[in-house]
Amino acid sequence: MKKYVLSLIAVLLFAFPSLSHADAVVGDLIITLGENLTEQQKQNLLKEMNATEQNQIITVSNEEEHKYLGDYIPKATIGTKAISSTSITIEKEGSGLEVSTKNINWVTDEMYLNALMTAGVKDATIYVTAPFEVSGTAALTGLIKAYEISSDEAIPEDVKQVANEELVTTAKLGDEVGAENASALMAKIKDEIAKNGVPETEADLRTLIENAAKDLGITLSEADINSLIELFNKMKDINIDWNQVGQQLDKAQDKISNFLNSEEGQTFLQQVKDFFIALWNAIISIFTNNEQSAMKK
């Protein structure tokens, strides 16, 4: 199944036909579809993404997936079919990024956010889906491709490659330390770089990574640290707008804070609280019943 998962991200980053920036307006929806979907699968996904005849639809090929994932994932894992699909909705300037997914079982929403920020994507609502469970790695190719078309901003090839590598690196790290921890660590490292600049030496970069992990209570192996050093060294060599990355991180944090402070967020937190109270009461009940049974005996 990982071959389909990995194919999903490569789809989001490929170069597309130009579209004048004047034509891209708030609310525009651009869709990418894997070229190996059956006709029925395509229709089901288009309906799921609320597509209309006015929406621009882009096809992503398996060849494109191999182009952006081939250096980081075995070819056999990428597979021979492009399945994953995505949509990107243009939002007003300053609104930040928002990601949601369906049938994605390896790459998390936060991993997409981090990789898209690295690629320079901003102010958009992102949706990643597939007709069955896939890993989600190939989807990034399609998302970046859609963003290029909508904004008429060509993303350099080396930036696309690094964004794909980041996605795979973070997902692999998530297998060891947990997906949420891996995403939080990447965001914290980026936030530090956005605020304080890129470390000048590899030793400084190592210290930054180790301190970020320590602050989050994450234990990294030497291999994990070296993998992150290699990734961020590549980021140093390409033209990443760290100021913009920092702004997008702030927007993402603001959205989380606003949700938690909203009526909907408070209801959600109360539901979580009620769940754990009910669970605790159930556990107590089990032990109480056992004690009573033992006393009767």
Q: What is the pLDDT of residue 77?
A: 79
**Structural domain tally of the chain?**
1
Q: What is the pLDDT of residue 274?
A: 58
Report if residue 51 sits inside a domain: yes
What number is the average pLDDT over the span 136-142? 91
Task: Report residue 179's pLDDT band, with 50, 70 and 90 as the boundaries.
Answer: very high
> What strand order describes the sheet that includes 124-129?
56-60, 29-34, 85-90, 124-129, 97-101
Report if residue 128 sits inside a domain: yes
Lowest mean pLDDT among 28-37, 54-63, 146-155, 280-289: 280-289
Task: Report residue 75's pLDDT band, with 50, 70 and 90 as the boundaries.
Answer: confident
What whole-number distance in Å separates Cα of residue 134 and Cα of residue 150?
26
Task: Report residue 281's pLDDT band, with 50, 70 and 90 as the boundaries.
Answer: low
Report if residue 94 sits inside a domain: yes
Report if residue 289 sits inside a domain: no
Task: Note down the domain range covering 119.
Answer: 28-160
Report if residue 7 sits inside a domain: no
Report if residue 281 sits inside a domain: no
What number is the average pLDDT over the span 18-31? 66
Q: Could you report the per-residue pLDDT of 42-71, keeping only the tens digit for each? A: 999 999 999 998 999 999 999 999 999 999
Report if residue 109 sits inside a domain: yes
b or e along 169-180 (b: 16 or more beta carbons within 10 Å of the residue's beta carbon)? bbbebbeebebe
Which pair of tokens denotes residue 43? Answer: 């229709």
Q: Could you report the per-residue pLDDT of 185-212, keeping only the tens digit for each? A: 999 999 999 999 999 999 999 999 999 9
Q: Could you report the per-residue pLDDT of 110-133, keeping only the tens digit for each? A: 999 999 999 999 999 999 999 999
Who has greater pLDDT, 77 or 200? 200
pLDDT at 10 over 60: no
Report if residue 245 sits inside a domain: no
Q: Which residues contact 106 (CB under 8 A, 6 or more apart)?
A: 2, 5, 135, 136, 137, 171, 174
What whole-number distance in Å separates Cα of residue 225 and Cα of residue 128?
29
Q: What is the pLDDT of residue 20?
A: 32
Model pTM? 0.77
